[in-house]
Chains A and B, each alone.
Chain A
C-alpha cells in the first residue's frame, strides 16, 4: 500500500516542538518523501526561523551576519504551508487528548508529535550565576548580548575551555575585549585533544592575546556596584575582573517538556532506532534525544536521525538509525585542529607521533590491531578526512604504517598532490577532474542550497561522484564552508540507498540461505525499494552468479549496458569492440579479418589499446552480432568487470635478455581465466625478466620471470589510484603460477565488494590476510583455485552465444513504426 501520495480524507496533523536544525531537516526530508501527507505546525521558542547554530561563532567573530546563517527563511515555511509559531514556548503535552499548549495558551492538536527541543546550556550552580552580564553561548540572543557587551565593557571571562568556550573567547577577543578562559582541567579541550596538542593550541591562542586560567574552579560571581557582574572568584582565593561572563561548560538535553508529559527520559528523551519515544505517536530527534544511551551534539549524526525519522513519519517504515562516530574541528580562524575517535590511546594501542613545536605542527595517530582507532592533529589537518575514512571503514593500515603519518599523497594518490589545502584554494581551481567542478561551484552550492553532507554535495555538484579520488578535498571544502562537524557518518556503510545492509551482510545472506535470484535477495533482506536501483542490482547480480555458478542465472536487465550488450557504449551511443588476442599475440589471418570487418561495417576508428589489442570504435548496436560473427575471435571482455587483458613481452622466445617464456605463460593464464567475472575489471601481465617490459607492477596480478622461476605480484593499479603491486611469492613452475594467481583472484571474487579493484580489496583486508589464505593454507588455496575453475567451466563466450546462437536477439534489434 502506498500511502505517501494523495491520501484520501483529511490530512494527518504533525506538530513539531522546536525549530532547530535537526527538526527542520526532518521536515525537509519528510516533504521530499511524502508531500501533503501532513498538516504541519512548528513551535519555536526563539523569534527566528531555522538557522545554522554551528555558525554562531563566525557571527560572533564578525565574519558572518545573522542573515548569512538562516537556513530556512520564513518564505520556506509559507511555501510548504507550514504553520510557524516563533517566540512561543510549548509548556504542555496532553497525550490523551493529543494536543500541545504554549505558555500563552496557543493549542495545536496532533496525530504525530516530534519533539526537537535541543539542549540547554549548563549553568554552574554558583552564587551570582543569575547576575546581569552572566550568559551562555547557545543562540542568537546570546550572540547579541555578547556583541552588545563588547561595545561597552572591557573584561570578559569565558568559563569552559572546550570547543564552544574557545570559539566564544575568540569571538569576544575579535570584538575588542580582553578575554580570560577559565578551565577546570589541566589542558584545553581535553575531550578532543591530548596534552601536547592542547599546549600548542594554548600557545597560539595566547599569541593572539587570549589569557588562560587553568585548573581553576569557580567559587562565585561577584556583583558590582551597578548590579551587574564585576568579578569572578575562584576556590583557591584568586579572582579576576569580569564585566561579562560566558558559561560554556557543556549542554544538557532539554527534556523538561518530555518529562512533564511522562515520557521516559535518561540523559535525553529515550528513543529507539526509528526515533520513536516510549509513546509511539511521539518522535524525538536532535540534541534532546538519547539513542542507545548517547545524545549527539553534532550535525551529521542528527541529520542521519532526521532521515530515519522522516522516513518513518512518511510511513515508509524502513531505515534505522544505528549510531554514529564523530570527528571534531575547531572553528577559530587561523587555527587548524582535528580529532577523531580514541585519540588518547591506552592499553593495547600504539601511537605514531609527529611533533614539531617550533613549526606548530603536532600529529598523533592511535593504532590498535593494525587499524586506526583515533587521531589528533594540530597545525596541519589536510589529511584529517582521509584518516577519518580509514578509521570509519576499519581498514587495515599495517602496510601503510611507514607512510601513514605523511598523509594520503605519500600513499599512492597521484595526480592530486599539492592542491589539497581546501582553504587556500581559489574559487576557480578545479577540485573534481572527472566532472570539471571547481571549488567555487561547490562553495556556491553549499551556501545556496544549504548542503551539509558529502552525499548532498555529490548530488548537487557531481564533485567526487565519479572516481572519488577528490572525496577528501570535497569534505574539506564542506568543513570550511558549512562549519566544522560535517563529517560524521553512519558506523557502517550500506550497499546503496535501497537497503541498510552492507555488502558483506548481503553476500553472507546469499551464501547461507542459498538465495538464487535478485528478487529473493531483496525480499529476504527486506529491500526498501521494489526492485532496487542501478547500483545494487548490478552488485547483486554479480554476487549471485559468483556465489552460485551454474545455479544462479545471470540477469541481463541487472547488467550495466556494456555487460548486457557485450561491447562498450560510447558517448554517441555507438559501441566499441575489442576481440581477444591471447597474450597480445595475433596472426595475419586475424588482422585480415579485422581489416575486412572495419571496412565492411564502416567502422570509423581502429585503435591499438594499451592492453596489446585492437579496438574497433563506432560500431552500431545492430551490427554487433554480425561484427562478432565475421571477426570469429573470442570476446575480449573489454566492456566488463571481468578478466581483460593479459599483457606480455616476447620473453625468452625472442628477447636476448628473456629468462622465461612470458608470452606462453601469459597465454596460458589468459586461457585459464577467460570469461572470469569479478567485482571489477582485472588486468594481468607477464614479463620475461626483471626489466619488466609488460609493466606488471600496475596489474591486478603481475608475473615476472626470473632465472629460477616466477615472481607473483598482486594488487597493483594503473588507474585512478596508481599503486605498485606487492610481492606475494616466488614459485618454480607454470602450474604454480596458475594455481597461486587463480586462488588470489578467486579470493578477491568471493570477498571483494562490487566495484572494488584488487588494490582496494587488499588495502581493506591487508596483504598478511591474503598471504595467510594463499601461502600458508595449501588446502585452502587449492580449494579456491578449484572453485574458480568450476565457475569458469560453466561460463560460455557471450559473443559466440549471440553471434551464432541468437541469444537475446531483441537486445540488438530496433523496432520501427
Chain B
C-alpha cells in the first residue's frame, strides 16, 4: 500500500538539482529536472555508493559525482554499458507540493 509523505514545495528543490530527504536511516535523493518533473532514488550510486543527490542533472539523468556514471532518473538504472540500479521510490507533485512514498519495497 502506498503511504504518501509530504516532503516540500517544488520550489525548495533547485531546477536541474536535487535535495536529500532523510527517512530514518534511509537517504533519498529527490530530483527536479528542467521541465519541473520530480524523481526519487535512493541516494546511492549502484557503482560505489556515491551520493547521487550531489550530481549534475541533465535531461532525465544524473551524473554521479564520484566516478561519472550516468543514472536514469526514471527507474534508477545506469546508462549502458554500465550496469546496476539505484532503488526508485514513488513520487508525485500535487499543487506545487512534492509527495514521496518512502516505504521499503
Contact = CB atoms under 8 A, between A and B. Distances in A.
B100 interface: yes
B102 interface: yes
Interface in A426-451: 449
Nearest to A813: B19
A557 B17 contact: yes
A209 to B, nearest CB: 44
A422 B66 CA distance: 30
Contacts of A534: 55-56, 58, 63, 68, 70
Contact of B65 (A460, A530, A558, A569): A569
B56 A815 contact: no
Contacts of A816: 21-23
Interface in B41-91: 48-51, 54-59, 63, 65-66, 68, 70, 81
B10 interface: no
B50 A533 contact: no
A531 B62 CA distance: 12
A798 B56 CA distance: 20
A569 B15 contact: no
A537 B58 contact: yes
A573 B21 contact: no
B63 A533 contact: yes
A814 B20 contact: yes
Contacts of B27: 814
Contacts of A561: 54-56, 65
A449 B81 CA distance: 10
A532 interface: yes
Nearest to A814: B20
Interface in B6-20: 6-8, 12, 14-17, 19-20
Given A533-B63, A817-B6, A565 B21 contact: no
Interface in A689-708: none
A558 to B, nearest CB: 7
A212 B87 CA distance: 67
Nearest to A532: B58
A815 B8 contact: yes
Contacts of A530: 34, 58-59
Nearest to A498: B58
B22 A814 contact: yes
Contacts of A746: none
Nearest to B50: A573
Nearest to B64: A534
Contacts of B102: 817
B48 A560 contact: no
Contacts of B7: 815, 817
Interface size class of B (residues with CB under 8 A): 35 or more
A7 interface: no
Contacts of A460: 81
Nearest to A570: B66
Contact of B56 (A537, A571, A573, A810): A537
A523 to B, nearest CB: 13
A538 B20 contact: no
A442 to B, nearest CB: 13
A556 interface: yes
A810 B19 contact: yes
Contact of A814 (B15, B21, B48, B63): B21
A36 B30 CA distance: 31
B52 to A, nearest CB: 10
Contacts of B20: 814-815
A777 B48 CA distance: 51
B93 to A, nearest CB: 15
A558 B16 CA distance: 8
Nearest to A461: B81
A605 interface: no
Nearest to B48: A571
B66 A533 contact: no
A534 B55 CA distance: 8
Given A569-B65, A571-B66, A557 B15 contact: yes
Contact of B100 (A558, A810, A817): A817
Contacts of A564: 54
A817 B51 CA distance: 18
Nearest to B4: A817
Contacts of A817: 5-7, 21-23, 100, 102
A212 B68 CA distance: 54
A573 B51 CA distance: 6
A656 interface: no
Nearest to B100: A817
Given A537-B56, A814-B21, A817-B5, A560 B34 contact: no
Contacts of B51: 569, 573
B1 to A, nearest CB: 17
Nearest to B66: A571
Q: Which of A529, A538, A810 has the most CB of B within 10 A?
A: A810
A459 interface: yes
Interface in A492-541: 529-534, 537-538
Contacts of A537: 56, 58
Interface string A771-814: 00000000000000000000000000000000000000010001
Contact of A557 (B21, B23, B57): B57
Nearest to A519: B34
A531 B16 contact: yes
A538 B14 contact: no
Interface in A536-594: 537-538, 556-558, 560-561, 564-565, 569, 571, 573
Q: Which of A530, A560, A569, A815 has the most CB of B within 10 A?
A: A815
Q: Which of B15, B49, B66 has the most CB of A within 10 A?
A: B66
A816 B26 CA distance: 10
A364 B83 CA distance: 45
Contact of A815 (B16, B21, B48): B21
Nearest to A536: B58
Nearest to B13: A810
Nearest to B5: A817
A736 B7 CA distance: 57
B20 to A, nearest CB: 4
B63 A557 contact: no
B12 A815 contact: yes
A569 B63 CA distance: 14
Q: Which of A532, A561, A564, A569 has the most CB of B within 10 A?
A: A561
B34 A814 contact: no
Given A459-B81, A816-B22, A557 B8 contact: no
A532 B57 CA distance: 9
A816 B65 CA distance: 23
A533 B21 contact: no
Contacts of A558: 16, 56
A459 B66 CA distance: 16
A561 B21 CA distance: 18
A815 B19 contact: yes
Contacts of B6: 817
A94 B16 CA distance: 50
Given A531-B34, A573-B54, A817-B7, 5 more contacts: A533-B63, A537-B58, A558-B16, A560-B65, A816-B22
Interface of A: 449, 459-460, 529-534, 537-538, 556-558, 560-561, 564-565, 569, 571, 573, 810, 814-817
30 contacts: A449-B81, A460-B81, A529-B59, A530-B58, A531-B16, A531-B58, A531-B59, A532-B58, A533-B58, A534-B55, A534-B58, A534-B70, A556-B17, A557-B15, A557-B17, A558-B56, A560-B56, A561-B55, A561-B56, A565-B54, A569-B54, A573-B50, A810-B19, A814-B19, A814-B22, A815-B8, A815-B21, A816-B22, A817-B6, A817-B23
Please name the 4 residue pairs, one residue from A and one from B, whose CB atoms are nearest each other, closest first. A534-B63, A534-B56, A561-B54, A557-B16
